[in-house]
C-alpha cells in the first residue's frame, strides 16, 4: 500500500476514468474521437458491441477495458423499440439480469419493436 491506496483501488479508479471515455463514445457518436474509434475498431456496430481486435492501440485497449463495467450499469430506453436489440442490449429493468436470455435463433437480429403492436406504444401481449 502506498499513501493509503492499494494498487487495486488505483486500478479501479483508472477503469472508472476510462469508463467515462467509453461513455463519451456512446453518448457523443459524432465527435471526432468517436468517429475515429468507430472507423478502426467497430465500423459495423457500436462501442458496446465492439471487439478488442487483433492489433489494438494502447489507447483502444485501455478504453475497451471499461466496456464490461459500462455494460453492467447501462440500461437502454426502449422508446419506439427500433434501435434496441431484443437479445444484445440491456433493456430489462432487472438489475441482476437486464438481458433477455433465449436460444430462439429467430430473435437474434430482431429489435424490441418486433414485440410491440405496430403504430402503438404498447406490448403485443399475445406475442410475448
pLDDT of residue 105: 82
From residue 110, alpha-carbon distances to 102, 106, 107, 117 in Å are 12, 7, 5, 15
Write the DSSP assignment of 110-123 as a string of letters. -BGGGGB-TTSSSB
pLDDT of residue 3: 59
Residues 38 and 69 in one domain: yes
pLDDT of residue 5: 64
The separation between CA 49 and the C-alpha centre of its own chain, rounded to angstroms, equals: 6
Residues 32 and 45 in one domain: yes
**Could you tell me the residue range of the domain that residue 92 belongs to?**
75-128
From residue 111, alpha-carbon distances to 1, 71, 82, 88, 106 in Å are 48, 18, 6, 9, 11
User: Can you list the residues of the chain whose pLDDT is less than 50?
Assistant: none
Looking at 52, 74, 96, which one is the last position of a domain? 74
Amino acid at each position: 500500500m502506498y499513501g493509503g491506496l492499494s494498487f487495486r483501488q488505483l486500478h479501479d479508479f483508472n477503469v472508472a476514468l476510462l469508463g467515462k471515455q467509453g461513455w463519451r463514445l456512446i453518448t457523443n457518436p459524432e465527435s471526432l474521437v468517436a468517429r475515429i474509434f468507430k472507423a478502426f475498431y467497430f465500423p459495423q456496430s457500436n462501442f458496446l458491441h465492439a471487439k478488442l481486435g487483433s492489433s489494438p492501440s494502447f489507447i483502444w485497449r485501455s478504453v475497451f477495458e471499461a466496456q464490461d463495467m459500462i455494460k453492467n450499469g447501462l440500461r437502454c430506453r426502449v422508446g419506439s423499440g427500433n434501435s434496441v436489440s431484443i437479445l444484445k442490449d440491456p433493456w430489462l429493468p432487472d438489475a441482476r439480469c437486464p438481458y433477455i436470455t433465449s436460444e430462439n435463433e429467430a430473435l437474434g437480429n430482431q429489435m424490441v419493436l418486433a414485440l410491440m403492436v405496430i403504430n402503438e406504444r404498447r406490448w403485443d401481449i399475445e406475442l410475448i
